[in-house]
């Protein structure tokens, strides 16, 4: 049995994000298009027979709030692997609170890796069921491909997305997802779209969180202003990260160089990333 594994855990972009209503149970009905990108955290797993889950590399996140720990414990309990434990070291590159899904990706990567290392033999559907209990973005990373999502994010239809490059602006602030979802000024009545319209993209797609986030966070609004001279900036998730889409990496890199001084003055980081069609976790599990 393999006892060690290292996996890249990718970020995502929401190419649009619509809020189509609020359910009786308090959850919001969403529609979004997920694009995986090659900005990745790295997770190293070493299993043991202690029964303990130990995570290093994330000193600011207590175990009670750590989705990696939660994912491991849920899998451990469901598969009766309480005699097995794991040491997980995380190299974080995906910013927290940026709308890039880093925590959800880490949770999904943990489920996929430990399902393999602990020989749990759960199929993808079973892992998706666990993922849904951890957060709305976790299932997309378990599916591991770009997808159109509905419901609360759990109804996934895989889609092909052209290999675009993205200039990613990472503001010096953390956006509270809970604060935005509960805000009285958040609109929740966008009309649902059919998947055919989504793939044809007629220009009517947007991020319903963007107007409110820009009102509440002036530093994000300022970045939208200076990115708009190069294209149509969009926000991913509930923010704070904003991106521009380019046909090639070289085009994105050219704009990144032009924006370097302005970004430095604003305390904003700039990165050029590329779209992925499949999570790199699958490659690690196949080796």
**What are the distances in angstroms from CA 111 to CA 77, 160, 282?**
12, 25, 12
Report yes or no: 71 and 55 within 8 Å, Cβ to Cβ.
Answer: no
Residue 113 token pair: 């890796």
Question: Is 12 a residue of the active site?
Answer: yes
**What are the distances in angstroms from CA 253 to CA 133, 165, 225?**
38, 9, 19
- At 119, phi and psi to the nearest 5? 55, 45
What's the DSSP call for residue 154? T
CB-based contacts of 220, cutoff 8 Å, min separation 6: 171, 173, 175, 213, 214, 235, 239, 240, 242
Given 12, 70, 81, 193, the catalytic residue: 12
Gap between the Cα atoms of 36 and 82, Å rounded: 33
Closest CA to 111 of 144, 62, 83, 160: 144
Report yes or no: 245 and 163 within 8 Å, Cβ to Cβ.
Answer: no
Surface-to-core class of residue 65, CB atoms within 10 Å of its CB (0-12 exposed, 13-18 middle, 19+ buried): exposed
CB-based contacts of 68, cutoff 8 Å, min separation 6: 43, 55, 58, 88, 90, 106, 107, 110
Gap between the Cα atoms of 9 and 31, Å rounded: 23
What sign results for the dihedral spanned by CA atoms 208, 276, 152, 182?
A: negative
Given 41, 137, 193, 208, the catalytic residue: 137
Q: Which residues are catalytic?
A: 12, 137
């Amino acid at each position: 049995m393999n006892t060690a594994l290292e996996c890249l855990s990718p970020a995502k972009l929401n190419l649009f994000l619509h809020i189509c209503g609020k359910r009786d149970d308090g959850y919001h009905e969403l529609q979004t298009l997920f694009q995986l990108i090659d900005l990745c955290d790295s997770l190293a797993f070493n299993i043991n027979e202690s029964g303990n889950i130990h995570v290093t590399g994330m000193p600011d996140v207590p175990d009670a709030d750590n989705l990696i720990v939660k994912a491991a414990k849920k899998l451990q309990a469901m598969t009766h692997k309480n005699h097995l434990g794991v040491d997980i070291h995380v190299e974080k590159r995906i910013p927290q609170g940026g709308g890039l899904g880093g925590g959800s990706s880490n949770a999904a990567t943990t489920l996929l890796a430990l399902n393999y290392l602990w020989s749990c033999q759960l199929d993808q559907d079973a892992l998706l069921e666990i993922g849904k209990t951890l957060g709305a973005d976790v299932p997309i990373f378990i599916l591991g491909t770009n997808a159109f999502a509905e419901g609360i994010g759990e109804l996934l239809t895989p889609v092909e997305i052209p290999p675009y490059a993205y200039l990613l602006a990472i503001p010096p602030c953390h956006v509270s997802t809970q604060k935005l979802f509960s805000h009285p000024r958040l609109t929740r009545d966008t009309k649902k779209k059919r998947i055919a319209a989504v793939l044809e993209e007629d220009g009517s797609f947007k991020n319903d969180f963007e107007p409110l986030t820009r009102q509440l966070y002036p530093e994000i609004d300022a970045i939208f202003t200076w990115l708009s001279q190069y294209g149509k900036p969009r926000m991913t998730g509930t923010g704070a990260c904003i991106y521009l889409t380019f046909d090639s990496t070289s085009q994105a890199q050219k704009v990144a160089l032009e924006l370097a001084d302005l970004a430095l003055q604003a305390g904003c980081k700039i990165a050029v990333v590329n779209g992925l069609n499949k999570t790199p976790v699958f490659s690690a599990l196949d080796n």
